[in-house]
Amino acid sequence: MHKAMFDAIADNLAKLRDLGVEIVPPRIEEGKAKLASIDEICLFVERSLYSKELVGKKVVVTSGPTYEHIDPIRFISNRSSGRMGNEIALECWRRGAEVVLITSKPLSYDLPNFRQITVRSVMDMLKAVLDEVRDADLFVSAAAPSDFTVDMAESKIKTTQELTIKLKMAPKIIKEVRKVYNGHIIGFKAETGLSDEELVRVAEDKMSEDKLEMVVANDVKEKGMGTSDTRVVAITEKRKEWIEGLKSEVAERIIQIYIEDCL
- Tell me the sheet residues that pair with 187: 141, 215
Q: Where are the domains of the chain?
A: 1-35, 51-262
In 3D, which of 118, 59, 119, 143 has the Cα closest to residue 93? 59
The model scores a pTM over 0.85: yes
Q: Is position 78 annotated as part of the catalytic site?
A: yes
Tens-digit pLDDT profile for residues 41-71:
999 999 999 999 999 999 999 999 999 999 9
Average pLDDT of span 205-214: 96
Q: What is the pLDDT of residue 224?
A: 66
Average pLDDT of span 32-41: 93
User: In this model, does residue 76 exceed pLDDT 90?
Assistant: yes
Task: Please identify which of the residues 12, 78, 182, 218 carries the catalytic annotation.
Answer: 78
CB < 8 Å & 24+ apart, contacts of 47-55: 47/93, 47/94, 47/96, 48/22, 50/94, 50/95, 50/96, 51/95, 52/95, 52/96, 53/95, 53/96, 53/259, 53/263, 54/92, 54/95, 54/96, 54/97, 54/259, 55/95, 55/96, 55/97
Share of residues in the chain with pLDDT > 90 (%): 86
Tens-digit pLDDT profile for residues 122-143:
999 999 999 999 999 999 999 9
Report the CATH fold assignment for 51-262: Rossmann fold (3.40.50)
